[in-house]
Structure 1
């Protein structure tokens, strides 16, 4: 009888241990739950990786544009309507004749002679304005430069007397002359410089 009790107690203890082991088994589940974490960690970097190619693809284009634009600007030729040789081996480009209101503005660029190394020589040129005028091609009327109240000619860059244009420098120099505007029925004019010559049939823009 005593042995039966011991046997029952022993079996109960075994069942108790097995029951405890079964109850403690669930804590082993966390390693399985941690398994998906690497998959999320791998998917997270995919978004920045996919966004990188557009940035790197546009960078070379923008960089090359920044390098090429100044070169292209330097290679653009001067947009001249007519060109003539000027004093001291300079070149005179007439670039525009435009009417604004009742005033005609004629613009030209004086380019100094170039040296063998590609640099410009120093240009020191004075152009008297007394005989500068234009001819209205439609009416054959001669028109002289405008003058202000002090009788200085309306031109730029003037010298100190206000009677001549002074072109002084070692790079192309832009100068302007202002005349009374021709009528709208006159599409072209001929601009006369006493020291350069005549630019004939210059179109007038409005």
Structure 2
């Protein structure tokens, strides 16, 4: 009786996991530190994201960019994120299956009861590690908003906030606009 061939020596676990996540039928999913999580935002979660998207959209167009919740790959890690909003140059978005965080101009995450710590801690750290220049955290549980900037391998070195909802928050260049956070 022979033994079955061992095919596992040629399999890259990171690539296998990311391939699987891209080929799930039905709902979208992301990978957070190696754990597959479905992306199923509620309507109030979507309303908060839409309130931000509506305010930044004119400037995003002027910059030749698009907003979306496309896939972000974090190579060399077991992470594949689906942000609530990412602002990326339109030419990079065309035909891209996934982008890297450093290819964005802004990433926005809106917390939920179930993922608040992921957005506050894990994603904030990983987005900084992977060079996302601006990370806006809309914390619906804490009812606050914080803008993180100046990314590095140890995290963001600058934080503007947390500010309570209703306080304006300034998005720096290239946006140069103030967000109204009243309706978040």
Instruction: Name the TM-score, length of structure 2 as normaliser.
Output: 0.27
Q: Greater helix share, 1 or 2?
A: 1
Structure number with bigger Rg: 1
Q: More relative contact order in 1 or in 2 (CA 8 Å, sep 6+)?
A: 1
